[in-house]
Structure 1
């Protein structure tokens, strides 16, 4: 019991420290910064603004109400994380659901971890922490990966280290962003899984993508059935027989090599071989950053 009282007193002391203009802490080097950063402090909800870098763009209303009910009964068990902007002014880094649910309940304060970070660090913390959540849809994850690469200037290898995912996994998510926006919306709304999306990525024709997407929804096709439908529609695209429309068969030695190339480069590599034995490799890339990444891998650079 004594420990709980001490903890509460510490929280009140930190709150008072934060509301004293003479002790306004703006950087990790400021006096008393060590007493603030890394500690749990009760902050006024009114002093916290939503993070514009938040990757989540939609919140399930029913889920929020359930969380609000839990907070009403038990309080906020896991503190949110904020960064200090100005005197008595903070911005969410993570925990927006807890923040929203607390406002629904009518709480005036919320337990918070305080960080001192610039915009880039805030973006990275928000994206990396949110990527770890289990309830983000595949497109939200893909967009978060893309933003980390674009706005923090991370390569796929660096991103892999930051989020603890294989590079091939990250590449698979990023490829989803090539899908038609209508299909991406369908994935975000839960009408189709990531497995369905990966099957449709192999369709280059945007209209054919949409045609297959409609059939997937109409027939409630499984991922395997979708992959089969993709093959059938691609084979019948030219109007010729399956035998005539099929590209020349590729020897197993080439297939094995292409698979190894694809895994190493983190990109789908295509091969075409003529009857005389000559051929060409095609390596797609998503951006200048992706092109430079592939170039370094081919050149054997670190």
Structure 2
């Protein structure tokens, strides 16, 4: 009598990458133990063709934005060579739900393909979320906001800690923390990041602006003027620099300006009187060569002797 053993995939394999996770789960559910001969037989992963109309995308897929040009390019490749890599799906009541491979599914629809290769697996809701996240991160398909939203969901819905999320996606805890900070951006700015109008670096640079309207205005300025990240950081330094209070001119300042003008005429060069409180200050006389300095000296000497 044969006894089939079947166990769900362990989430501990996620941090090692999508490939390792799938291999581990395949080994678990394809092990058949024969009691008579005491041997273990491992079957190859089963792949089958499924009509495209029977497949639906995962509504909780982290990726929301797809590059139309890239999809068209992939669809042209599919027309010529077919779908080379199977979609990873799980069986639902009346359809198959995509776990990994929505981009291939979309491109296959554009190419007019009727059937695609799939591998059918069975995962928990959390594991499906983790696999979709890992696949997109490995392919660098997610924009910074989508990635941050996926991390937030793992933390909020599945009560994972940041270091646990970091381990699952093979990133540092600091990278997860910095990613989550992007969700503090004004929603309009988040939309600009998702549309590719602002880079991750731009977004991080302006995240310190607490007022949403001001943050959006700065984001628009960055986009309109095509500012680099370095230029954005410089802009932020200027915004954060406290404004120096404008010095109030003394009530009798006009007297000093009048004397200043008379001295300009006498000296034949620019003279600046900087008056302070209590009628104190200093006089600055400009010269532009050694000969002019000597002329000013002779003039002052002459005035003294008169």
Q: TM-score range by the shorter chain?
A: 0.5 to 0.7
Shift of 1:199: 0.7
Q: Distance in 1 between matches of 2:87 and 2:245?
A: 60
- The answer as to 2:138 corresponding to 1:106 is no
Contact 2:63 2:141 in 1 (8 A): no
Shift of 1:156: 0.6
Deviations 1:112-153 (A, max 9, x none): 121112323222222232232213211111111111212222
Contact 1:48 1:90 in 2 (8 A): yes
- The answer as to 2:99 corresponding to 1:93 is yes
**Structure 2 stretches of 5 or more lacking a match?**
1-28, 33-40, 247-306
Structure 1 residues 64, 36: closer, same or farther in 2, change over 3 A? Answer: farther
Match of 1:183 in 2: 189
**Which one of 40, 44, 61 corresponds to residue 47 of structure 2?**
40
- The answer as to 2:63 corresponding to 1:56 is yes
Match of 1:274 in 2: none
User: Mapping of 1:1-302 within 5 angstroms?
Assistant: 38-86=45-93, 89-236=95-242, 239-241=243-245
Shift of 1:176: 0.6
Shift of 1:163: 0.1
Contact 1:47 1:89 in 2 (8 A): yes
Match of 1:271 in 2: none
SS of equivalent residue, structure 1 residue 132: helix
Taking structure 2 as the reference length, the TM-score comes to 0.63
SS of equivalent residue, structure 1 residue 43: strand
SS of equivalent residue, structure 2 residue 230: helix
**Structure 1 stretches of 5 or more lacking a match?**
1-27, 243-302
RMSD: 2.5
Deviations 1:174-216 (A, max 9, x none): 1011011111111111111111111111222223312321221
The ranges of structure 1 where at least 4 consecutive aligned residues each deviate by more than 4 angstroms after the TM superposition are 28-31, 34-37
Q: Distance in 2 between matches of 1:171 and 1:101?
A: 34
| Larger gyration radius, structure 1 or structure 2 | 2
Q: Distance in 1 between matches of 2:57 and 2:42?
A: 25
SS of equivalent residue, structure 2 residue 188: helix
Taking structure 1 as the reference length, the TM-score comes to 0.64
Deviations 1:80-128 (A, max 9, x none): 1101224x63110111111111122222211112111232322222223
Q: Distance in 1 between matches of 2:180 and 2:50?
A: 37
Shift of 1:30: 12
Structure 1 residues 44, 62: closer, same or farther in 2, change over 3 A? Answer: same
Q: How many residues are matched?
A: 211
Structure 1 residues 135, 123: closer, same or farther in 2, change over 3 A? Answer: closer
Structure 1 residues 29, 69: closer, same or farther in 2, change over 3 A? Answer: closer
Structure 1 residues 80, 61: closer, same or farther in 2, change over 3 A? Answer: same
Shift of 1:29: 9.6
